[in-house]
Amino acid sequence: MNATAMKTPAMPATIVNGIDVDALKGVVDEISKDPAKGMVEFRVTSAWKGKTRSGAVVESYSLAGQRIDRRFSMMVDEPLELLGENTAPNPQEYLMTALNACVTVGYVAGAAIRGIRLDSVQVTTEGALDLRGFLGIDPAVKPGYDRIRYTVRIKGDGTPEQFREIHETVLKTSPNYFNVSQPIAIDADLIVER
Amino acid sequence: MNATAMKTPAMPATIVNGIDVDALKGVVDEISKDPAKGMVEFRVTSAWKGKTRSGAVVESYSLAGQRIDRRFSMMVDEPLELLGENTAPNPQEYLMTALNACVTVGYVAGAAIRGIRLDSVQVTTEGALDLRGFLGIDPAVKPGYDRIRYTVRIKGDGTPEQFREIHETVLKTSPNYFNVSQPIAIDADLIVER
């Protein structure tokens, strides 16, 4: 302990599950007062890389109208049996990863704000598709899922009732749970280049 | 040219856009005759990695009831401003990548089966979320997208009419276009571990 440490310390941050709970509460307060601060926009550009491969690039997102640069890339392919080269996860696996990751943040933040310390969260999603839809063999067959199943295994110092409450909240507030389970309007533009 | 090449050659495969069109037509025929051959199941398991990070693992998928092992992993995080560490794309960016990659395969296969050679396919998706939904500030605010916009830029030796036809087919047959634009039932199980 040195002299500096003897001075009046700043209030320590309350960190639960790695989440700065005071910062989270601050964000909630700020957005409650000014909803424009909670408007967020995402964008991804993907380019065909031959056969069934594509590469996606993230260059920025926007928060409260302000563009924030960050750069990531993701590769997607199909398995050998689906005419791909099996060099990367496929679009269905990206969709499930998107769902799993989104609900995971929901469980972690939901526990943090209640002061519940988590040991682990594991989410498994699975679903079956009938390829007659994608291949246009039968227009009566859906190209996507009829239903998908996700199972979350959670461990921590909360009560079963608290975990049930967090779970129910996640089902109501997770963006990707909503995006998959509810219909989203998609405006699709085609530009034919010369 | 050597002696071997002078022998009666096997019929060369018809490759368009890297897609073996004969193999694709063979798959369509086979699944038309026996729809069980076109049943495919995907599964992804994700584990919380601290803060807003999660790691997704693909270990297998199933085609026609047969499990096929393959291994991929994906990391997901949130940007700094959303209480993450910005080490990886976020769940929204994974969702858009899933959509973009799925429609890209649709354009490429749709062009290949019509004998249209493509130079490029680029898909951009963007959408805005109101964080009051995720944060539970206002139950009347959707946690997910109100609408998203995707723009495809395509270049190749097809006519504008052919590209329009392929585009309309993709909107009807893309699994992830369906999964995002149409409601999908999700069976969500919670297991509280001790």
**Is residue A70 within 8 Å of B93, Cβ to Cβ?**
no
pLDDT higher than threshold 70 for residue A79: yes
Q: What is the pLDDT of residue A13?
A: 80
Of the pLDDT bands very low, low, confident and very high (cuts 50, 70, 90), residue A138 is very high
| B190 with A27: Cβ contact below 8 A | no
Of the pLDDT bands very low, low, confident and very high (cuts 50, 70, 90), residue A15 is very high
Asked if the C-beta of A16 comes within 8 angstroms of chain B's C-beta atoms, the answer is no
CA dihedral sign of residues A132, A136, A142, A147? positive
Nearest chain A residue to B130 by CA: give it: A39
| A187 with B148: Cβ contact below 8 A | yes
Asked if the C-beta of A6 comes within 8 angstroms of chain B's C-beta atoms, the answer is no
Q: Which residues from chain B sit within 8 angstroms of residue A118, using beta carbons?
A: 48
| A59 vs A36: CA distance, rounded Å | 22
Q: What are A124's strand-pairing partners?
A: A151, B45
Helix (H) or strand (E) holding A160: helix A160-173
Which of A96, A154, A186 lies at the smallest CB-CB distance from B177?
A186
Q: What percent of chain A has pLDDT over 70?
A: 94
Asked if the C-beta of A35 comes within 8 angstroms of chain B's C-beta atoms, the answer is yes
The 3-state DSSP class for residue B136 equals coil
Q: What residues in chain B have per-residue pLDDT under 50? A: 1-7
pLDDT higher than threshold 90 for residue A71: yes
Q: What is the pLDDT of residue B4?
A: 45
pTM of this structure: 0.94
Tell me how close the Cα of A10 comes to any Cα of chain B, in angstroms. Answer: 20
Tell me how close the Cα of A11 comes to any Cα of chain B, in angstroms. Answer: 19
| B151 vs A191: CA distance, rounded Å | 7
ipTM: 0.94
Tens of pLDDT, residue by residue over A149-165, are: 999 999 999 999 999 99
